[in-house]
Amino acid sequence: MSIYPDDIVALATEVLDACKERGWFVATAESCTGGLIGGALTDIAGSSAVVDRGFITYTNKAKMQVLGVRAETLRSVGAVAEETAREMATGAIQKSSSHLAVAVTGIAGPGGSDYKPAGRVHLATATRDGVAEHRQMDYGDIGRTEVRLATVKTALEMLLKAARQT
């Protein structure tokens, strides 16, 4: 029995199967989800054939030190931005043996501002060939746990899409 909802387990299983078919390894770069994406993947038996590693980079300093996010990016647009998510995803590829990575950065809540409200999350996938996709999700101020789980689901959907592209 998983600690994750059935829809997340199903998506994570599909991601693992799709990556296994391609012989791909996956990395995660997580801020607001704090490792939940990696947790959803590794909750499934046999995930070690696909999951390479996960980076939890909650602070700006960690994003810079661990993933190589540029200080200028964080100064100019902040942590919750498309550019930051893209740099996190690219950094996860560069700092791992993975063929595919997903990165998430956002405001799970409570809090936020008019400019960056609670529930706003930026996600990006990257492959060895470059950034595959970016999404800005505005889940709304639906609660911290709900934002984080919704982000996990979106991240898995993006990983699956990238893994199935030829």
pLDDT in tens, 80-122: 999 999 999 999 999 999 999 999 999 999 988 888 999 999 9
In the chain, the percentage of residues whose pLDDT exceeds 70 is 99
> What does the CA dihedral 152, 26, 90, 10 come to, rounded to 10 degrees?
-20
Question: What's the one-letter identity of residue 41?
Answer: L
pLDDT at 10: 98
Domains and CATH numbers, the chain: 6-164 (3.90.950.20)
Express each pLDDT in 143-159 by its tens digit. Answer: 999 999 999 999 999 99
Per the listing, tokens 């996190």 go with 88
Helix (H) or strand (E) segment spanning residue 103? strand 100-106
pLDDT higher than 80, residue 76: yes
Per the listing, tokens 């919704």 go with 150
pLDDT at 149: 98
The pTM (predicted TM-score) of the whole model is 0.97
- The token duo for 117 is 């409200």
pLDDT at 131: 76
Strand order in the sheet with 26-30: 51-56, 26-30, 100-106, 120-127, 130-138
